[in-house]
Chain A
Amino acid sequence: MLLFLGLIVGLAVFNRRRSFLALRAIPAFVKLRRAIGLAVEDGSRLHLSLGSGGVLDQRSAAAFVGLSMLRRVADITSVSDQPPIATTGEATLAILAQDTLQSAFEKMGASAQYDPTSARLTGVTPFSYAAGTLPVIADEMVSSNLLAGSFVNEAALITDASERGQNFSLAGTDDLTGQAILYASAQEPLIGEELFAGGAYLEAGALHNASLHAQDILRYLVILTILGGAVLRFLGIL
């Protein structure tokens, strides 16, 4: 953790001095930016599904990434007549989503536009959450669905509703089964750690970029360690 922290701080300083550490292209995020732009232009809404992962369990990281993406989407779409709408399957997350949207509107000086029901709990079990989310996609002028959080099987119901509404869908989860399901059902699935890169690709700040580069460096270190271990084992040294 200390190594990770050191890398993030070091890379943030390095990036500030010489900004040439570019992010690798993830087409899903390019399409998301385009979808956000189109939603602002045609006055439709963006829907962020934050999943059923609680902030008190091991799935909290995915939920936090969803909240950071919600914040960025709210910032970007602040000029739109239709603010984004967020749905969650976990009560604490719903309150945090409301707070995130309220803060974004306050920062933009548009507090009057904030509606507490634009971030809502739609169900407290994964399937009731998905069932409660379907009418939001169908009835609230949604043109793009962004699923960022902890999902398993229920995600397919949400992406199916998105498909039927001919909406754009980008989806990422921290769950392996959920990722397989989203690969088949979402227009733009995020695989592995791509979900955690959401903030950096939505330009949430220099430290987001630095943490993504630190993540990449550590991933290569882990790969080298695994390969090194395999070679040593093959040679009979380990």
Chain B
Amino acid sequence: MMRLPILSRALSIVSAAIAISTGIVVTLGFFVNFAELANLRLIFLEWAVLLAAIALLVGLVNLLRVHLNKVRDGGATAFYSFVLVVGMIATFGLGMFFGPDHPIPLWIFNNIQIPVETALMAILAVSLAYASARLLHRRATVFAVVFLVTTLFVLLGTGSYPWGEITLLVELKSWISRVPATAGARGILLGVALGTIATGLRVLMGVDRPYGG
């Protein structure tokens, strides 16, 4: 739907005002010990959860629309899109009719969804082995060598052998996990935490407006 520029501008300002004020109230609710503020924060969060549930339905309609377009256009992947559309409508219909805890929707989940995702996990193991093998071809750096050597030692230290475990490798793996890996992970997590705060502040200041505008 095309929006008039003036309407778009007004929407942008109103959205920014609502987002910034709500963000400030929710943030203050965490830090300030004031009952009314805490209650208001909870109300806002409940609204957000409700809106997220509605957003899921909107997202599914969007997904359905994309694949209906693909079925209509034909092409090499139209059949897969058709299967997706039929599967989606059937699962949604059965779930709505019987309820999500009924054996039929649960059977679909346990016997289709979980095996498919497990198969993808198995493909992932192959993909990662291939990616690691190609790493030096892609980036021949000291860090890439360290990454690969560490991966190799951790794998060897984790593996089981017919003659039992190799003590040296197990101890090496344990040391890698306890010392360099933990130190590196903490450093990365500190950076991520600072980045998260910076992003939150930019949203609160209206510099980042992920709601458009």
Contacts and interface: CB of A to CB of B under 8 A. Distances in A.
Interface of A: 1, 4-5, 8, 54-56, 58, 61-65, 67-68, 90-92, 94-96, 98-100, 102-103, 106, 111-112, 116-117, 120-122, 124-125, 127-128, 130-132, 135, 139, 153-154, 156-157, 159-160, 163, 174, 176, 179, 181, 183-185, 187, 191-193, 195-197, 199, 205, 207-208, 211-212, 214-215, 218-219, 222
A78 to B, nearest CB: 15
A136 to B, nearest CB: 9
B187 A192 contact: yes
Contacts of B76: 139
B201 A94 contact: no
Given A92-B55, A176-B188, A218-B194, 18 more contacts: A5-B205, A54-B52, A56-B45, A64-B199, A65-B195, A91-B56, A95-B58, A100-B210, A103-B12, A117-B65, A127-B120, A154-B124, A156-B128, A160-B131, A176-B185, A184-B135, A196-B199, A197-B195
Of A139, A211, A219, which is in contact with the most chain B CB atoms at under 10 Å from its CB? A211
Contacts of B195: 61, 65, 174, 192-193, 195-197, 215
Contact of B198 (A63, A160, A215): A215
Contact of B58 (A67, A91, A100, A196): A91
Contact of B127 (A4, A135, A157, A179): A157
Contacts, number: 189
Nearest to B186: A226
B201 A5 contact: yes
Contacts of B207: 205, 207-208, 211
Nearest to B81: A135
Contacts of B49: 56
> A interface, by DSSP: helix, strand, loop or mixed?
helix
Of B48, B207, B210, which is in contact with the most chain A CB atoms at under 10 Å from its CB? B210
A121 B198 contact: no
B21 interface: no
A121 B191 contact: no
B35 interface: no
Interface of B: 2-3, 5, 8, 12, 27, 45, 48-49, 51-52, 55-60, 62-63, 65-66, 69, 75-77, 80, 113, 116-117, 120-121, 123-124, 127-128, 130-132, 134-135, 138, 147, 151, 185, 187-192, 194-203, 205, 207-208, 210-213
Question: 9 closest pairs, A vs B, by CB?
Answer: A196-B195, A91-B59, A193-B191, A121-B59, A192-B191, A99-B212, A185-B131, A103-B212, A61-B196
> B interface, by DSSP: helix, strand, loop or mixed?
helix
B147 A192 contact: no
Contacts of A212: 198
B1 to A, nearest CB: 9
A211 B207 CA distance: 10
A121 B210 contact: no
Contacts of A55: 52, 210
A197 B192 CA distance: 11
Contacts of A102: 3, 212
A21 to B, nearest CB: 15
A207 B188 CA distance: 23
A206 B151 CA distance: 40
Contact of B63 (A5, A120, A127, A218): A120
Nearest to B148: A184
B120 A219 contact: no
A139 B198 contact: no
24 contacts: A54-B52, A56-B45, A68-B208, A90-B59, A92-B52, A92-B59, A95-B59, A96-B211, A99-B211, A99-B212, A111-B2, A117-B65, A121-B59, A127-B117, A128-B116, A131-B116, A135-B77, A154-B120, A181-B128, A184-B131, A184-B135, A192-B195, A207-B202, A222-B194
A194 to B, nearest CB: 8
Contact of A184 (B2, B147, B185, B202): B147
B188 A179 contact: yes
A181 B129 CA distance: 10
B72 to A, nearest CB: 12
